[in-house]
Amino acid sequence: MMGANNSLASRLKEKCPNLFLMKCICHSFHLCASYACEKLPNDVEQLAKDVYNFFSNSSKRIDQYKEFQEFANVFPYKILHPSQEMAFPRIGYQKIDFTI
């Protein structure tokens, strides 16, 4: 869609030379994160799966995890299922704060 030669963006630019096109930062970031996750060793992905499985199979462990978060005075994150298709949930993140 945003290629330089034969894309929707280049065709729109031909019709309207003064057109300003802005790429979606979310999609660009997702592509970067996906590529970065492909470069992670398999051990990291397996660790994320093991951690999820360790907590998901026991409500007692989940309660202990919540207690630890309160004790450590950190935001109570939930451990998400490692997904094969998404970049950050794949490694267990729930929230990413981009502060400028």
Count CA atoms closer than 13 A to 68's CA, side-chain side.
8
pLDDT at 6 over 60: yes
Question: Does the model's pTM come out above 0.75?
Answer: no
> 13-41 b/e with 16+ CB inside 10 Å = b?
eeeeeeeeeeeeeeeeeeeebeeeeeeee
pLDDT in tens, 12-31: 888 888 888 777 788 788 88
Using one digit for the tens of pLDDT, what is the confidence trace for 60-89? 999 999 999 999 998 888 887 776 444 444
* For residue 92, pLDDT beyond 80: no
* 41-62 pLDDT per residue, tens: 878 778 888 888 898 889 999 9
